[in-house]
Amino acid sequence: MSFSQELRKQAEPIFQAIMEHPFVQGIGKGDLKKEQLIHYVKQDFEYLNAFMKIYGLAISKSSNRRDIELFNNQISFVLHSEIHPHNNFCEVAGVKYEDLQGFPVAPSAHHYIRHMLTVAQQGDIADILAVLLPCPWTYVEIGKKLLEEVNPDSAHPFYDWIHFYGDGPMTVTTPFCQRLDEIAETLNEAQKEKLMEYFLLSCQLEYKFWDMAYNLEEWPVKTLEVSV
């Protein structure tokens, strides 16, 4: 079994729980509330900004052009393509995308961003691949499962979202897994354990992200708005 298959195997209970989460099921049923979609897009806009910066950190730690290209392609994908699923949610919620940008990050998104940033700042390319992989991987599997289970017609409110992640060739996960598997060949058990830990924590935080959006999670105490 390759190292990436080993990661996926250990994460199976989390992948299953994500699939059963009411937000993910709600994409399939098309019955999410407007506020839930808005909260998700506000948080995910900030999350994806952080994600691109982490690709930038990965580029700064790359020692060859193949790795630079790998991460560079992913920045373009987030910038130019991942706006489509956000726009789908905004259209259903009846709000403008621009109006959901620049909001404070809620606790679970904050936790997830800090986890990725810490690993990216302290680690090497393998650490970064392991901490980032659950992001594309869980979404591709959600898209594919929802396509199978719901097989939405064009009148389904989340037709575009489901097709975006469900039809997409594995342009992110496959090269990431291949590169990680290549590096893993050179690592000892303790080093691979550490990568497993980063990967599984990101999987848990993917679950928490859906939960945050579904329950409109915010910081427990409101503070006064500061105008600077």
Ligand X SMILES: Cc1ncc(CO)c(N)n1
The residue of the chain with the least Cβ separation from ligand X equals 135
We find the least distance from the C-beta atom of residue 14 to ligand X, in angstroms, to be 13
Cβ closest to ligand X, residue 131 vs residue 186:
131
We find the least distance from the C-beta atom of residue 40 to ligand X, in angstroms, to be 9
Nearest to 119 by CA among 106, 133, 110, 132: 132
Cβ closest to ligand X, residue 142 vs residue 195:
142
List interacting residues with ligand X (CB under 6 A).
Answer: 44, 47-48, 82, 135-136, 139, 206, 209
We find the least distance from the C-beta atom of residue 47 to ligand X, in angstroms, to be 5
The span from the CA of 114 to the CA of 116, in Å, is 5
177: annotated active-site residue: no
We find the least distance from the C-beta atom of residue 164 to ligand X, in angstroms, to be 10
Residue 146 · residue 166 · CB < 8 Å? yes
Encoded tokens for 117 = 């940033």
Cβ closest to ligand X, residue 82 vs residue 160:
82
Distances (CA, A) of 99 to 39, 81, 103, 202, 217: 12, 19, 9, 28, 19
Strand (E) or helix (H) holding 196: helix 189-214
The span from the CA of 69 to the CA of 33, in Å, is 39
Cβ closest to ligand X, residue 132 vs residue 195:
132
Nearest to 24 by CA among 201, 126, 166: 166
Active-site hit among 90, 135, 177, 203: 135
Active-site hit among 46, 82, 177, 206: 206
Residue 165 · residue 140 · CB < 8 Å? yes
Task: Provide the annotated active-site residues.
Answer: 135, 206
